Amino acid sequence: MGDYVVILITTIFVQNILLAQFLGNCPFLGTSKKMETAVGMAMAVVFVLVMAGVITWMVYYWILVPFELKYLKTIAFILVIASLVQFVEMFLKKSIPALYAGLGIFLPLITTNCAVFGACILNINKELNFQKALVTSFGYAVGFGLALILFAGVRERILLARVPKPLQDTSIALVTAGVLSLTFFAFKGIV
C-alpha cells in the first residue's frame, strides 16, 4: 500500500507531468485562459488518461510483446488513443449526455495531447506492472488537472494586472508557468 502512496505523491507533485516533465504544454497554455475551460480539460484528461494507460498497457504486453512487434508501439499507441477517444465520445453522447456536454470540445482535442501519449510511453519504458501503471496514470492525470486549474486561477488574476506590452499574452503566461513550476520544484525533497 505504501508503494502506491509514494507513486501518487511522486506523480502528482514531484514529477508533475506538466511542470516537471513538460508533457501536454499546448493545452496547458491553450485552455487555461478561463477557469471553466480549464476544469473541463482537466476532467477530460483524468478520464481519458487513466483509460488510455490501462488499455495501452494491455495492448503492449498482451499483443505487441508476444508477437515481437515492440518497435510498432508508437503507431499502435496513437491509434489506440485516437480510437479510444472517439469511442468514449460516442459512448458519453449516448449514455451520459450531461458529462458529454461538460467535456465538450476537449474530448477530441485529447487525441493530440502529448500528456496522454507521453504518460503511456513512460509507463511502458519504466516497465511497470499493471497495478502500478494504473496508479501512475491516475497520478499523472490528477497532477495535470491540479497544475492546469491552479494556473488558470493565476491567469485570471493576471488579466487584471497591467503587463508591459511586449510581455503580454503568451510571454507572461510562460513566465507565470515558470514561477508555478518553481513552487512544484520545492516538493522534490519529499520522496
Spatial CA neighbour of 16 closest among 183, 169, 176:
183
User: Which one, 99 or 111, has the nearer CB to other proteins?
Assistant: 111
Is 171 one of the binding residues for other proteins (CB under 8 A)? Answer: yes
Angle between helices 114-125 and 73-95 (to 10 degrees): 130
> Up-side HSE of residue 171: CA atoms within 13 Å toward CB?
6
From residue 140, how far is each of 53, 64, 118, 175 by CA, in Å?
Answer: 10, 24, 10, 23
Is 146 one of the binding residues for other proteins (CB under 8 A)? Answer: no
Is 162 one of the binding residues for other proteins (CB under 8 A)? Answer: no
> In the stretch 64-83, what mask flags binding to other proteins with x, by CB under 8 A?
-------xxxxx--xx--x-
Is the separation of the CB atoms in 59 and 130 below 8 Å?
no
The span of 24-32, 62-70, 90-98, 127-135 binding other proteins (CB under 8 A) equals: 24-32
Is 167 one of the binding residues for other proteins (CB under 8 A)? Answer: yes
Q: Which residue has the cell 471553466?
A: 36
Residues that bind other proteins (CB under 8 A): 19-26, 29, 71-75, 78-79, 82, 112-114, 117-118, 121-122, 125, 165-168, 170-175, 177-179, 181-182, 185
